[in-house]
Amino acid sequence: MLSKDQIYEALRKVYDPEIPVNLVDLGLVYDIQIQGTKVSVKMTLTAVGCPMHTVITGNVKSAIEALGEVTEAKVDIVWEPRWTPELISPEGRQTLGME
C-alpha cells in the first residue's frame, strides 16, 4: 500500500534548479493525498512567476509516477499559505549555511 512517507521520500530527490535543497526540505510541499494509486500534491514555489514552474512541477510528477504503485500524479501549485524561508527544514538550513 502506498504511503505518504514513500511520496515524501521520492520528492526529496526533486530540487529547485536554482537552490541546492530538495523541495521537501525547502518547505514547498504542503499536502499529499493518496487515493488508491492516484496521488495529488499541493505545493508552492519560492516566488510567484518562478520561471522554473513547468520544470519543477514536471519533475515532481515524474518522481511520484516513478513509484511502481502510482498510476497518476497531479500537482497543484498554491500560493496560500505563502512560502517563507522559515519553512525550510533544519537540514535545508544547514545545507544553505543558515545555521
Tens-digit pLDDT profile for residues 16-57: 888 999 999 999 999 999 999 999 999 999 998 888 899 999
pLDDT for the residue 46: 92
pLDDT for the residue 44: 96
- Distance in angstroms (rounded) separating the CA atoms of residues 70 and 92: 27
Fold of 4-83: GMP Synthetase; Chain A, domain 3 (3.30.300)
HSE-up (13 A, CA, CB side) for residue 33: 7
72-81 per-position pLDDT tens digit: 999 999 999 9
Pull the grid cell for residue 87: 519553512
Residue 7 has a CB neighbour count (10 Å cut-off) of: 23
Report helix, strand or coil for 85. Answer: helix
User: Does residue 64 have a pLDDT over 80?
Assistant: yes
Residues 69-96, mean pLDDT to the nearest whole number = 95
Burial of 99 (0-12, 13-18, 19+ CB in 10 A): exposed
pLDDT for the residue 49: 87
pLDDT for the residue 18: 87
